[in-house]
């Protein structure tokens, strides 16, 4: 899971960046969308004189930059604009620095919204001046909204005719889903009040009568060191995976032991003596 933060917190950003480097999650997402998006972009951009993109909870922009480059490659002569909603200023600064190092994107005008997705929704509704988009993406951020159905309904309403909303989220019944639903009471708190996987998202889309398709984004990462009490890497991974500042001091020894047992027995596979956490994601394409 990546994070969409509602406040600035440099330690949380460092924890996120450590996790992303260790897990290979962004590389997996980029590989997943690489297989799916080019054909869909051809469809949504056909006959358009300009293309407007909205990234929601974009973090440091690594996946956004890849998707914008794909869109630009599909329509090299069509002007593209990008609005970015991100609550953590440090991550927005990282995004801007990444753009500066990506020559083909320097001509794209960016409009930055330093706020959570729900604050963005409130602002848009208060202004009454609704801007529409050809392509909206929400990568690993729907865990952090208070009302899943309302968020999906609102952002879907911002799509232009023939537009597309892309949602990337952890897959139902895989490692993350097993961990967080088994220990839902203990893990849900300040940052995540209600855990969701692809099952909750697709159920919401179905209830709203929205057309969608779902694609697997495979991923695993090594959590062997999580079972070594003196490993700093293992501790930092556990802090992120449980959304706790200090897993070693979290809850009771029995709960901590239970989580570690679950991680090894049901959330992971063993390969070459290493414990590999099952972190498959779903890329859900929602049509306008």
> Hey, what domains does the chain have and what are their CATH numbers?
10-173+191-220+280-287 (3.40.50.150)
Per-residue pLDDT for 6 more than 70?
no
Q: Binning pLDDT at 50, 70 and 90, where does residue 1 land? A: low
Nearest to 133 by CA among 198, 58, 83: 83
Contacts of 50 (CB under 8 A, 6+ apart): 78, 79, 80, 81
Sign of the torsion formed by the C-alpha atoms of 89, 78, 130 and 204: negative
Burial group, residue 70, by CB count within 10 angstroms (0-12, 13-18, 19+): middle
HEC profile of 55-78: EECCCCCHHHHHHHHHHHHHCCCC
- What is the per-residue pLDDT for 4? 45
- What is the per-residue pLDDT for 3? 44
Please write the tens of the pLDDT for every residue from 234-272. Answer: 999 999 999 998 999 988 999 999 999 999 999 999 999
- What is the per-residue pLDDT for 16? 87
Please write the tens of the pLDDT for every residue from 148-184. Answer: 999 999 999 999 999 999 999 999 999 999 999 999 9
Please write the tens of the pLDDT for every residue from 8-66. Answer: 467 778 888 999 999 999 999 999 988 889 889 999 988 899 999 999 999 999 999 99
Please write the tens of the pLDDT for every residue from 70-102. Answer: 999 999 999 999 999 999 999 999 999 999 999
pTM > 0.95: yes or no: no
CA–CA distance, 41 with 85 (Å, rounded to integer): 21
Q: Binning pLDDT at 50, 70 and 90, where does residue 128 land? A: confident
pLDDT, average across residues 102-125: 93
Per-residue pLDDT for 5 more than 50?
no
pLDDT, average across residues 2-6: 44
Of residues 208 and 7, more confidence is placed in 208
On average, the pLDDT of the chain sits at: 92
Per-residue pLDDT for 213 more than 60?
yes
């Amino acid at each position: 899971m990546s994070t969409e933060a509602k406040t600035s917190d440099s330690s949380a950003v460092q924890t996120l960046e450590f996790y992303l480097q260790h897990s290979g999650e962004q590389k997996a997402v980029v590989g997943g969308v690489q297989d799916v998006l080019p054909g869909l972009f051809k469809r949504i951009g056909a006959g358009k004189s300009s293309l407007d993109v909205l990234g929601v909870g974009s973090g440091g922009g690594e996946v956004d930059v890849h998707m914008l480059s794909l869109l630009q490659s599909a329509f090299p002569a069509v002007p593209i604009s990008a609005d970015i909603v991100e609550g953590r200023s440090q991550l927005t600064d990282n995004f801007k620095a990444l753009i500066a190092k990506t020559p083909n994107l320097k001509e794209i005008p960016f409009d930055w919204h330093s706020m959570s997705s729900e604050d963005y929704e409130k602002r848009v509704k208060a202004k009454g001046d609704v801007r529409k988009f050809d392509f909206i993406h929400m990568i690993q951020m729907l865990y952090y909204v208070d009302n899943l159905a309302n968020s999906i309904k609102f952002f879907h309403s911002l799509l232009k005719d023939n537009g597309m909303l892309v949602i990337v989220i952890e897959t139902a019944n895989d490692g993350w889903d097993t961990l967080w639903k088994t220990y839902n009471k203990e893990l849900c708190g300040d940052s995540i009040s209600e855990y969701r996987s692809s099952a909750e998202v697709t159920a919401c889309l179905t209830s709203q009568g929205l057309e969608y398709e779902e694609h697997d984004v495979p991923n695993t990462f090594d959590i062997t060191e999580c079972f070594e009490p003196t490993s700093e890497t293992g501790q930092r991974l556990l802090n992120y995976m449980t959304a706790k500042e200090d897993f070693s001091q979290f809850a009771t020894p029995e709960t901590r032991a239970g989580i570690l047992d679950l991680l090894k027995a049901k959330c992971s596979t063993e390969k070459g003596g290493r414990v590999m956490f099952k972190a498959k994601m779903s890329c859900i394409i929602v049509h306008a």
